[in-house]
Structure 1
């Protein structure tokens, strides 16, 4: 893997030479822009406004534009004079429990590779210290022209680094939740819980990018001059407006998708309110039977009366 940053981890007075490599990769199907009339490629060229000519990458530098439009060129030599220790160092500033990090802050992921034989022992020391403490390291470093906050944690036998958004880069969720008040019934929450239990858990390794696969089928058909794949028919049924009906149908659909394996479990976890109503309906339906089925009881009462009353009948 090609390194994108070289430097060192600063762990107190311990320095650990490392290289930073990407921990993730994109499998997105790339598209090119074309001219729809003739299919030719659309390309973007770097043109100097003053000379009105295309320039090479070697001729391109960076600059800061001031508020009044003044252009201030900035060279790599200028950036080497940054009065900042994190320019070439991942500076650990604290250790925290992992659950203290808001997932909203997580950004890109990297692996930190020990650089050379001298880095092996301090690298292992930091890794094992993180394991034993069950904490993550919070650090700062510079990448891509800006200082970043990051989190170091252990993944298998490696140290991974997640760049974090600064707290002031996280927007507050104001205006996101429904503005109107909503009252939920216990039965609705019970059914939602039943649906969650029926859907169950999943191994993330079993999940795949179905959109990419479908897109590759379309591209392959176009390349071979074949008919495009048929679009699956949408699920039957119109829009369901009633929340309870939607939940019940979702539970049944989830059970069917699991091959009916959750039937007994779902039945056992029916909402308590529904169970009470079922009991009431059962008791009501059996009461008339008890009242009209007095025939067996009558002989039972009259038989001892005949034996003890000497021919007299008691009622």
Structure 2
């Protein structure tokens, strides 16, 4: 049982089943509140309530409710008058239907309340309603009266508890006329692909990791001034250029999102172009040729070979001459 004060006592009407419950706020505000002060001397500014007829200040116990009629006259309405309204929802949360949760427009969602079982007799019907909601995968639509007016509510299960969300009446939600741009715009597939990539890069987040940075910054300012120190200076806002090219803005957003998540984008390097000419490169000036020169040994070998060939020719001629002379003598 939550250690908070209930704001409403009654019962949940589930057909002929009645579940005694207490209504407890399911949310709380952590925002920092300020007092109005006189800037010259720091004195508190207070609003005092005066009676126009008696021209005197009145206490809270003397203040009641009144309805101002069209002619300006005031019609007093007491808490007892409101308690005896001819409505079944005055002290009862009357369930009127069970519908799938997706049928509820989030625009209708209002404050949330825990329904706490009131006493031991409420344990069995409370558990019955909770388990019936779980098994049906539906939510209950109910009507109830709170703070002087009848309201619409939605009951659903959170853990082992039943939660009731206040809902706005359908006619209290404004139609979104004139909100969307009236100019005809064409979105290209490439732009949608980049938008999808940005969504995938940002990914999901655990809502438990989110916190109110504004409130923390205000607390730092208050702590610094209370200690007589200068409040911390605000960092310079990032300079945002005008969005001229939507594609470039999307690409930059994807790149920045990846870097913030520690992902290094692939580095694109431009390699030098290959030469198309196959001509041999020119030798630099002054560089000696690498062709081998004939050595002295190879020159002498060449001369000896030539001399040997010349001797062989002369021997052949002498042999031929001797054969000719011999033939003549024999004749």
Same fold per superposition (TM over 0.5): yes
- Matching residue of 1:300: none
2:6 counterpart of 1:3: yes
CA distance in 2, matches of 1:239, 1:211: 27
Q: CA deviation at 1:187?
A: 0.9
CA distance in 2, matches of 1:241, 1:109: 43
Superposition deviation, residue 164 in structure 1: 0.0
Encode CA deviations 1:237-294: one digit per residue, 9 max, x unaligned: 5333221111111111101100016x47xx9xxxxxxxxxxxxxxxxx99x98xx99x
2:248 is aligned with 1:245 = yes
| SS of corresponding position for 2:154 | strand
> Which of 208, 219, 222 does residue 219 from structure 1 map onto?
222
TM-score by length of 1: 0.82
Task: Single out whichever of 59-68 and 107-116 deviates more from structure 2.
Answer: 59-68
Match of 2:300 in 1: none
1:146-295 matches, within 5 Å, as: 146-236=149-239, 238-260=241-263, 263=265
CA-atom RMSD in angstroms:
1.8
* Distance in 1 of aligned mates of 2:68 and 2:163: 36
3-state DSSP class of the match of 1:83? coil
Q: SS state of the match for residue 234, structure 1?
A: coil
**Misfit runs of 4+, over 4 Å:** none
1:87 aligns with 90
> Which runs of 5 or more structure 1 residues have no equivalent in the other structure?
268-284, 294-315
Please, which of 78, 103, 107 is the counterpart of residue 106 of structure 2? 103
Distance 1:19 1:133 in 2: 24
CA distance in 1, matches of 2:107, 2:36: 33
1:55 to 54, 58, 76: 58
- TM-superposed CA distance for 1:81, in Å, is 2.2
Shift of 1:230: 2.4
Aligned-residue offset at 1:107: 0.3
Aligned length: 270
Specify the alignment match of 2:292 in structure 1: none
Which structure has the greater CA radius of gyration?
Answer: 2
Change (3 A) 1:237 1:90: closer
